[in-house]
Each structure stands twice: as C-alpha cells, then as structure tokens.
A and B are shown apart, each in its own frame.
Chain A
Amino acid sequence: MLHETPHKYSQDEPILKFIDVTSTISGNIVLENIDLLINRGDFIALLGPSGSGKTTLLRTIMGLTNVSNGEVVMNGKSADVQRPNVGYMPQMSSINWNFPISVEQVVLMGTISKNKLYPWFSKTAKDAAFEIMEKMGIVDVRSRHVNELSGGQKQRVLLSRSLINNPHLLLLDEPTTGIDIKTRDEVMHILHELNHRDVTIIMATHEINAVAAHLPRVVCLNRNIIADGAPKDIFTVDILTETYGAPIHVTRYKGLPIVAESPHVFNNNIK
C-alpha cells in the first residue's frame, strides 16, 4: 500500500541548488544549463528517456562528474569543497549478485570512509549495520549470500548500504526497475517512511504511472530540464512528448493522469 503524499514542502530551506550547471562525461555534454532547487523534505521523481542524463544528474550531486560550468551548492556550501553526506543506491543491474559476499558485508561497505586506517570493519560499524538491517527487515538474513535473497530483499540491502550513514538526502537510480508489483510497493512504502522521517529523496525512474504519478514533484529531464512541478501539471501530452521524443497520450482515471505511449499499428486490418 502506498502512503498518501503527506510531504512537507518548505520553500525556505533549500538543501541543494544547481546553478546553471553543465556536466560532461568524456568531453561530451550530458547536462546543460541545469537550474534546480531541491527543498528539505522533497520527494522527487526524475523522468526522462535512457541517456537523458538522469544518472549523470545524480552523480553530479555526488561530485563524481566533471562540472564544466555553473555550481552545485549543498547546504549553502559548494559540493566541490565539501562532499555532502548523501546516500546513493545504484541500479540493481550494476551489481554482481553472484559475488561471494554476505548481506552484512555489502551493508558494511557504506561505512568504509570511516576508520580509514583500520583494516577490517569496526565494532561501531557493525553495530550501525545491525541497526539499519533491523529497520529494513533483513537482519535475519544478514549472514546469507546476497544471491539467495528475493528481489525486494536485494533492494533493501542496497538501501541499507545507502542509509547507514544517516544521510539527509537519498539518491536512487531506478529502484523499482525489474521487480514485481508487490516488491515495488514494498520499496515505495519504505521510501515514503523515510521521507516522513525528513529524508529528502530524488529518484530516477522509468515508471510514470506506478511511481512518478504518486509523488508530489516530478522533474522531466532530457539534457535540459523540460518541466518541474506536480504530476497533475506535468503530465501533459506536450511536456511528455518533448521529454521522451516520442508520441505520448495522457488520459484520466478517477482524476489521476494515466500516461500511455501511442499504440503502434503494425497491421492495417486491425480495427
């Protein structure tokens, strides 16, 4: 079950600011002239086709891309100067789940920047891992091999790793891609819970109806920011067609917008 959208929306507390940012990867411009204001408590869906710069935008916040123009300001300080305490959850497909590693070891990796000189994971780190795994409901499987888990449990492992340092900002790269409906709802439920506890969330997603439509704010991206606002204002034929570069239809069901791509007609005999 999804929560309603109870998020606080406070305009006077920007946690993150993109000021005319241009980001490049291997010399190619991926994001251009991005102006974006993220407020504390926001829960944002980042929409756009593959290659539109969603992952790059997340990686720019983490200071992992080359910002050739403009500035990313986090809590009033430039992200170049101080790497922000941000939780990041990568795409499931970027992880080698067959690697011989336990759930607990994956979660502990989130603490690696602490106790840098200590060769193994410290007691404090292990306690923190236990606590977050307990919250995420995976503490009973902590000694298991990661590939023995279900899709939802794997998501919780990556979420635990990104949350172990208690970040105020959580960045998620397609967290609901490739999982079933029940697991997707579980993941969304956890994220809403976190958002209730004042964690600001930015989530790249391809799921317009099932995920983005239920969030208070949607940012459409395709190299530039195409649109930014509530789903009811954003989900229009013009905006979505411009974002995806393909014809898209919008209809309404019980007041909610339903987005659908144009049906392709392969056979003219079909009426």
Chain B
Amino acid sequence: MFLPFEYEFFVRAIIAGTLVGGLCGLIGVYVVLRRMAYIGHGLAHSIFGGAVVSYIISINFFIGASIWGFLSAMLITFTSRKKNISTDSSIGIITTASFALGVALISRFKGFTRSFDAALFGNILGINELELYSVVFVVSLVSIIVVVAYKYLLFTTFDPENSEYYGVHTGLLDAIFSLILAATVVVSLQILGVTMIAATIVIPPVIARMLTNDFNKMMVISVSTGAFCGLTGLYISFYLDISSGPAVVLFSSFLFILSLIYSTIRERLLFKSEPHL
C-alpha cells in the first residue's frame, strides 16, 4: 500500500491530487448552488485556448491561463446578467469559441511539443515542484477568500436579487468568484485534464447536498469527499496504470451512486415512518 510513496513523483502527485480534489469540492458548492454546473467544463475548455495563446506568445502558463479564464468567467457572468441570454447559453458560446481558438492555433502552428492527451485527460504523475507550489498557493488563496467573504458569498448565492439592497457589492463578489474559479480550474488542468474537471467540481457538492440541508455541513462534506476522491483516484491511477483524471472521476461517480442509493433508501424509510396526511 505504501510502495508508491517511495517515488518522489508520487508523493508530489498525491499531495496535489488531494488538495485539488478538496479545492474543487469547495468551489463546487457555490458552482452547484448558483446553478451553473457546466461552468467548470466550459472554463476548462476556455482556458485550454488561453494556455495555447500563452505558449505561442511565450508567457507563463499560470499567468496567461488564469487571466484568460478570469476574463471568460467575467464575460459569462456579464452576458448572462445584463443581456437576455441564459447562463448555459453564454457558457456554451464563450468557452467553445475560446477552445476552438486554441485548437485552431495548434493546427496552424505545427511546432507544438506538448502532449494533447495530458491536456485533455490529465497527467498528474508528471507534475513538477513549481506546479505543486501553485496548487498550494491557490488552495490557500481560495480558502482565505471563502472564509473572509463567507457571509457575502452565502447571501449572493442564496438571494442574488436582493443581496445588493442589503449592502452587498454583487459586482465585486462576482468578480472575486470568477477569479477564484478560474484559478481553481487552471491548477486543476494539469492533474485532471480539460475534459474531466466538470465532474470533480460538481460531484462532491451534489453528494453533500443529498446528505445534508445545512450549508456549513455541505461545505465540509463536499471538501472531504473531493479530497478523498483525489487521493483514492490517484492510487487507482497508479495501480491500474490509467490517466489520473478518469480515475478520479470514475471513483467520484462510484461514490455518487452509493450516496444516491443511501439517500433514496433513507427517504423511503422516513416516508414509511412519517406518512404524509
């Protein structure tokens, strides 16, 4: 069981995987409750475009991709609030256009040496020290913001229409949320891959929501489930020799099915003991 810990790359991977899992679980609570489940999927595709552009114009991946992701998230929020366009439509348009730009650039500039597979499905075992530090940095940043802005984020997520009247700067909070969401997706890309991020953001909070009606408990369950899935998924990835992204997602889906069965049985039992009159 502890055999893989003899390899330094695995130790790095397991720390990064657990942190990213927990981080996705944390940010996922807001994503799911804001009913924008597909934003993770969309942003990952959008950031792929940003990553290609950063590579071509030779700027740091983390900086270039984060700015790109932030602007995409802001644009999605802006168009869906200001114009008569639904959130899922604006996610579909903006992020796919950005992804298409990335693919177009790759096909135009043939000199690409980076692996497509790693970008799409994740390659955590190739994570280097700098990437691990960036994960630690983003996890710390997001945790601090979520704690400091706790009541404001709760209010704007619960009742966005009326929170402004109560003195909450919804525009500023939307910008902050877009920033931490983009940062989360950027550091998760390397580990989970473009196509796998949506599930790791959505599954832990959905499991947590099935198990509790309490916001704080939902946060705790979602973060722990995300971290546990990251950790276990990596083990599975190592032993079965499959990509890290699919391993994490498949294990999360397995837990989702278990909790679905559990909550269905619990509801049936409650229904039997408390008949509706």
Contacts and interface: CB of A to CB of B under 8 A. Distances in A.
Contact of A113 (B148, B166, B213): B166
Given A90-B162, A102-B215, A145-B213, 9 more contacts: A90-B161, A96-B158, A100-B212, A100-B218, A102-B214, A105-B215, A109-B159, A109-B166, A110-B166
Interface of A: 62, 64, 88, 90, 94-96, 99-102, 105-106, 108-110, 112-113, 116, 119-121, 145, 147-148
28 contacts: A62-B165, A64-B164, A88-B162, A88-B165, A90-B159, A94-B159, A94-B161, A95-B159, A100-B33, A100-B215, A100-B218, A101-B154, A101-B158, A102-B215, A109-B154, A109-B155, A109-B166, A112-B155, A112-B163, A112-B166, A112-B167, A112-B168, A113-B166, A113-B167, A119-B149, A119-B151, A120-B150, A145-B213
A109 B159 CA distance: 10
Given A99-B33, A100-B218, A101-B215, A119 B147 contact: yes
Contact of B162 (A94, A105, A121, A147): A94
A199 B150 CA distance: 32
Given A100-B209, A100-B218, A109-B155, A119 B162 contact: no
Nearest to B35: A96
B144 to A, nearest CB: 10
B150 A119 contact: yes
A101 B157 CA distance: 11
A106 B148 CA distance: 19
Interface of B: 33, 147-152, 154-155, 157-159, 161-168, 209, 212-215, 218
A120 B151 contact: yes
Given A88-B165, A100-B209, A121-B151, A109 B158 contact: yes
B211 to A, nearest CB: 10
B165 A100 contact: no
A18 B151 CA distance: 34
B215 A112 contact: no
A95 B158 CA distance: 8
Contacts of B166: 109-110, 112-113
Contacts of B168: 112
A198 B118 CA distance: 68
B165 A106 contact: no
Contacts of B159: 90, 94-96, 109
A121 B152 CA distance: 11
A112 B158 contact: no
